Amino acid sequence: MIELKSIIKKYGSKRALHDVTLSIPRGKVIGLVGENGSGKSTLLKLMAGLLTPNSGTATFDGKPITRQIAARIAYMSDTDAFYPYFTIQQLVDFYDSQFEDFDDIKAKEILQFLNMSLDSKMKNLSKGNRGRVKIAVTLAREADAYLLDEPFSGLDPMVRDDIAKGLIRFTDTERQTIIMSTHEIREVEPLLDEIIVMRGGRVIAHEAVDEIRDFYGIDATSWMVSLFKDQQVERELGK
């Protein structure tokens, strides 16, 4: 569905992505993991058509990814970009006016599932409840792919659990793809089909979670820690 080939992205003279090549299939839940500054957010924005690569190609179903891809891909930023004076109902109405694939009935169903009241004002919500609202309006779109940048960041375990349950309940994992950047790999591992690991703007691994368990005999978190340690040793030996 999403194909990236030899992608390079620079901010001025600094390279954020180095020769990234990826193939993202339909109907998968994929974790995008790595250290802060590894390029995860840049990669998601590029897939969402919000950034243009300096070189390389990015396609969705064989067509170049541009800003128009927003009609088929739902992107959720790691920051809050909501009007503080909106009620949740007004936010739902706003999203309904912006995206043809937005389902306001589904949005209200998700908000009810997450115990959110439509008349609450955004400015009065806790960070956890804003996280619930963000995921609700994102998943209410009938998109081909959901790109979620740190959906669990800074949220307490109960909120993370609610959002994780919502991801499974309100998406069709047979035809829709979820790609989420996260530091909470241990908690979301049961949801994941695949893991993409980034370091220093490069993709250093892209593996199926089941194959990690079968081949290495360890969970994905332990495998990732081992991978980073091996890379560190290789760098030390190469000095």
Share of the chain above pLDDT 90, in %: 70
Grouping H, G, I as helix, E, B as strand and the rest as coil, residue 54 is coil
Count of domains in the chain?
Answer: 1
Is residue 237 over pLDDT 60? no
pLDDT tens for 116-166 read 999 999 999 998 999 999 999 999 999 999 999 999 887 888 888 888 889
In a domain, residue 165? The reply is no
pLDDT at 235: 59
Q: What pLDDT is attached to residue 200?
A: 93
Does the residue 48 lie in any domain?
yes
Whole-number pLDDT of residue 80: 79
Q: At 84, which amino acid appears? A: P
Residue 167 lies in a domain: no
**Residue range(s) defining the domain that contains residue 204:** 1-11+27-64+147-156+184-239
Beta bridge partners of 90: none
Residue 41 lies in a domain: yes
pLDDT of 125 = 94
Residue 207 lies in a domain: yes
| pLDDT of 36 over the 60 cut | yes
**Side-chain half-sphere exposure of 100, counting CA atoms within 13 A:** 5
The β-bridge relationship of strands 2-11 and 14-24 is: antiparallel
Q: Residue 226 falls within a domain, yes or no?
A: yes
Residue 202 sits in a domain whose CATH number is 3.40.50.300
The answer as to whether 76 is a domain residue is: no
Average pLDDT, the chain: 91
